[in-house]
Structure 1
Amino acid sequence: MNSLEKKKNLFNEWAKTYDQNVATLSGPLDGYKESLTRAAQTVPIKENESLLDIGIGTGSFAEHFISKKVHIHGIDLSTKMLEACEKKFPSFTLKEGVFTSIDYENESFQAVISSFCFHEVAREERQKACNEVYRVLKPGGQLTLLDLIFASSPAMKRASEDLRGHWDPTEDYALVEELDTLLYNSGFRDIKWIQSARCHWIVTAIK
């Protein structure tokens, strides 16, 4: 079983209790709901425009945009997460997919969003992931990405020591400078960063 299949199985199993679990998250994910709300506030999208949520899970991030009356699409590695999302939000258009393989045409979306998913992308595939997001965005469209990201290697080390009871050493979190460079290399400009919790950063970037 390769790493992608292992992750799919893990998230398929987690789908059963995901919504209950996020209500009591701690450690690196402390501040989860507050960070989602703050990230959603950075997304400039208008009625009838189209938005894609990468790693949509059960729809916790995309849910913030229902009142804006936009066309919400979502992709996820986990079929069980997609099933749970469809039950909650039948108006969403959902399909299987990952950051590095987005099954949509070029320039399909005014906005692309993602929360707590990018760190699951293998380091050697992260440039490809940024390129894919750039491809499916319309000119002038915005990426809003929220994840477990750290300002520097020392900051990550301190967090791992302070949160050792909740820290997963198998995860490969990005650093601000690393992801900033990847986004710039893909063609993004006007890249901005907001720290929304100790281990959470929001990055917005314009095509």
Structure 2
Amino acid sequence: MGREFIDIFEDWAKEYDNSVTGQDPQYEAVFANYDIILDEVTNASCGNVLEFGVGTGNLTEKLLQAGYQVYGIEPSQAMREIVNEKLPNLLVEDGDFLSFRKPKFQTDTIVSTYAFHHLTDIEKEVAVAQFAEILPINGKVVFADTMFESEQVRDKIIMDATENGFSDLVEDLNREYYPVTDYIKKIFEKNNFNISFKQMNDFVWLIIANKE
């Protein structure tokens, strides 16, 4: 993911779990249905899993409980330290969507939550091309990420957040690279993925892309 956001991840690490459980009103809508989102990603996964943006390990923990072998990538040292405390037997490596050490085992599913939007559009295209190289035929990409149906929807959400005084959320929405769903569909189909979308809350969509 975008290394320019590392300082934000480092600062947010200790408060992240409070945010995802709805204790920060600014991000309550962003993380609505959080446990359901993680369950959907877990249930859609198969085989050996490569996870980008492990964060504090909430999805990772569910994947491990479901019996998957997981190889984790996380660029934030503060986040990795939290994961190491939660899941001491799991090795989470320093890396991001564009620069990482590939797992030694075959990767059947690539997963990520709340992270892909940190890449610019060009970086997203590079990353998806790499996914196509890593995955076998019928391999999957399963992401839950912030994206919008249109720029108009995004602008309306920014306006509503501004009116509610959610200055941190507004800053995030103006700074990071939130895509529209049609663009995500285009870049995955360009790399021979068949993709489906499911909206999980006002901000987050589940995408399941199968390599053909």
Shorter-chain TM-score above 0.5: yes
Residue identity in the other structure for 2:16: Y
Structure 2 Cα separation of the partners of residues 85 and 69 of structure 1:
18
From 165, 171, 178, the counterpart of 1:173: 178
- Contact persistence 2:113–2:145 (CA under 8 A): yes
- Report the identity percentage: 21
CA RMSD of the aligned region, Å? 2.1
Higher helix share: 2
Deviation at 1:33, TM superposition (A): 1.3
1:13-52 aligned within 5 A: 13-23=11-21, 24-25=23-24, 26=27, 29-31=30-32, 33-40=34-41, 42-45=43-46, 49-52=47-50
- Contact persistence 2:144–2:207 (CA under 8 A): yes
Match of 2:58 in 1: 60
CA offsets per residue over residues 26-57 of structure 1, 9 Å max, x none? Answer: 25514151452353254142xxx311110011
Match of 1:121 in 2: 119
From 182, 186, 190, the counterpart of 2:187: 182
Which segment is superposed worse, 12-21 or 109-118?
A: 12-21
Give runs of ≥4 in structure 1 deviating > 6 Å. Answer: none
TM-score by length of 1: 0.87
Higher strand share: 1
The 3-state SS of whatever aligns with 1:53 is: strand
Structure 1: where are the runs of 5+ without partners? none
Deviation at 1:185, TM superposition (A): 1.3
- Contact persistence 2:39–2:62 (CA under 8 A): no
- Contact persistence 1:134–1:186 (CA under 8 A): yes
Residue identity in the other structure for 1:59: G
Deviation at 1:64, TM superposition (A): 1.6
Does 2:192 correspond to 1:194?
no
Match of 1:135 in 2: 133
Shift in CA distance, 178/184, structure 1 to aligned 2, threshold 3 Å: same
Structure 2 Cα separation of the partners of residues 182 and 30 of structure 1:
26
Residue identity in the other structure for 1:206: N
The 3-state SS of whatever aligns with 1:16 is: helix
